């Protein structure tokens, strides 16, 4: 069966126009390597392939990598020297954290061709001058494209000289204390929350310590679903000595951050997996899932990711297993948890967050 074409969004449509203008003005770029990074819809990758360009692809999201695979073929999960070597056009979907742009612009300046043009696209309402300033740290020429479809690309050219194997402030580092555990956190640019202690995560772990510590023991198979910077996995491993602990995230950046956080805290008994949801785990195989679900997809608010993760938790939990969740009180996930997992009760809350326990029936 033929795969249907991907549907471009307004950022894609803008980039099509800007790329056409770029290739018309500098035709030689069409014969040099092009790198597409973190395509959000698949339409950009499809368009690049349709132009017969010498294309390479990088995708942080495990889910999107699978969705786009029939267009991109094998791809890299993180930017590196090999995928960026010789690249003269790099197309990037701007993410919300400035840390991500700081990290990626350094990588392009360090490893791409000296004649590289970095096109960083986003809807105009999400652009700000801090992005220009961040790009100017690594490029001598930064400008904006024409606006199309309420979107625009920032153009960065003439990379400045940089040295080393990683940006000087990566990974971000932070020392925190949560649930009576002292931790060193590490985080790369695209990791949600960077190296900060998320207040919802703190409430979740403190509630587990006071109300549900008995769920965790060496034989417990527990999953930190959406592990981010590794706070939950590190605390569970250090405090409860769970030997069957798994940390997993859709983001390759988060997986790398969790791996570094575990290492710097001398935790070596956690399996870290890059996957969409819990697709690599069997049904009815897990005792406890711990989850602080994201409510952003890129720059947009959404409940879809949380609902998907609730379903994945339900599928993999053993009968009688529990999902421990924290969420912003405004999200009102209680009914959805009842429907997708099972009976749900509130374990704790503060002025912003609610912690619940849902038991699979």
What CATH number was assigned to the domain covering residues 10-159?
A: 3.40.50.150
Quick one: residue 298, left, alpha or beta (phi over 0 = left, psi -120 to 50 = alpha)? left
Average pLDDT rounded to a whole number, residues 108-120: 98
Residue 331 is predicted with a pLDDT of: 83
Neighbouring C-beta atoms of residue 300, cutoff 10 Å: 12
- Can you tell me whether residue 247 is helix, strand or coil? strand
* CA–CA distance, 38 with 36 (Å, rounded to integer): 7
**C-alpha separations of 132 from 60, 88, 153, 177 in Å:** 23, 20, 11, 35
- 190: pLDDT strictly greater than 80: yes
What is the pTM for the complete model shown? 0.94
Give the confidence band of 241 by pLDDT, cuts at 50, 70, 90.
Answer: confident
Inter-axis angle of helices 231-240 and 199-211, nearest 10 = 20
**Is residue 361's pLDDT more than 90?**
no
Calpha distance 219→330 (Å, rounded): 36
Question: What does the pLDDT look like over 1-12, one tens digit per residue?
Answer: 578 899 999 999
Q: What is the mean pLDDT of residues 168-192?
A: 96
Domain ranges of the chain: 10-159, 172-359
Q: What are 10-55's pLDDT values in tens digits?
A: 999 999 999 999 999 999 999 999 999 999 999 999 999 999 999 9
User: What class, spelled out in words, does domain 172-359 have in CATH?
Assistant: alpha beta
Instruction: Please state, as a whole number, how many other Cβ atoms lie within 10 Å of the Cβ of residue 106.
Output: 24
The enclosing H or E element of 321 equals: strand 317-328
Name the nearest CA neighbour of 188 among 112, 279, 121, 255: 255
54, 87 Cβ separation under 8 angstroms: no
Check residue 2 and give its pLDDT. Answer: 72
Give the whole-angstrom CA distance, residue 53 versus residue 65. 20
Q: What is the mean pLDDT of the chain?
A: 94
């Amino acid at each position: 069966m033929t795969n249907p074409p991907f549907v471009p969004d307004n950022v894609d449509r803008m980039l099509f126009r800007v790329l056409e203008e770029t290739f018309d003005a500098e035709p030689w770029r069409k014969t040099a390597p092009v790198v597409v990074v973190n395509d959000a819809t698949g339409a950009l990758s499809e368009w690049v392939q349709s132009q017969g360009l010498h294309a390479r692809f990088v995708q942080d999201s495990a889910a999107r990598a699978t969705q786009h695979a029939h267009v991109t073929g094998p791809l890299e999960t993180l930017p590196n020297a090999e995928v960026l070597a010789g690249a003269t056009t790099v197309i990037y979907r701007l993410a919300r954290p400035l840390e991500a742009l700081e990290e990626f612009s350094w990588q392009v300046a360090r490893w791409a061709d000296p004649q590289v043009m970095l096109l960083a696209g986003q809807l105009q309402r999400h652009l700000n001058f801090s992005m220009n300033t961040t790009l100017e740290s690594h490029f001598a020429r930064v400008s904006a494209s024409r606006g199309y479809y309420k979107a625009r690309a920032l153009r960065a050219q003439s990379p400045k000289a940089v040295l080393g194997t990683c940006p000087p402030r990566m990974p971000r580092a932070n020392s925190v204390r949560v649930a009576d555990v002292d931790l060193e956190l590490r985080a790369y640019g695209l990791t949600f929350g960077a190296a900060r202690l998320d207040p919802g995560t703190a409430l979740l772990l403190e509630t587990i310590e006071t109300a549900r510590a008995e769920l965790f023991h060496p034989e417990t198979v527990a999953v930190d679903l959406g592990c981010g910077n590794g706070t939950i996995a590190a605390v569970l491993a250090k405090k409860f000595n769970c030997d069957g602990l798994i940390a997993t995230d859709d983001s390759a950046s988060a997986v790398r951050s969790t791996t570094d956080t575990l290492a710097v805290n001398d935790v070596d008994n956690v399996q870290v997996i890059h996957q969409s949801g819990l697709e690599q785990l069997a049904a009815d195989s897990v005792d406890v899932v711990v989850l602080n679900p994201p409510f952003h997809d890129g720059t947009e608010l959404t409940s879809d990711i949380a609902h998907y993760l609730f379903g994945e938790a339900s599928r993999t939990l053993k009968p009688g297993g529990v999902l421990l969740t924290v969420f912003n009180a405004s999200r009102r996930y209680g009914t959805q948890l009842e429907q997708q997992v099972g009976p749900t009760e509130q374990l704790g809350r503060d002025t912003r967050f609610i912690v619940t326990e849902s038991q699979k029936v």
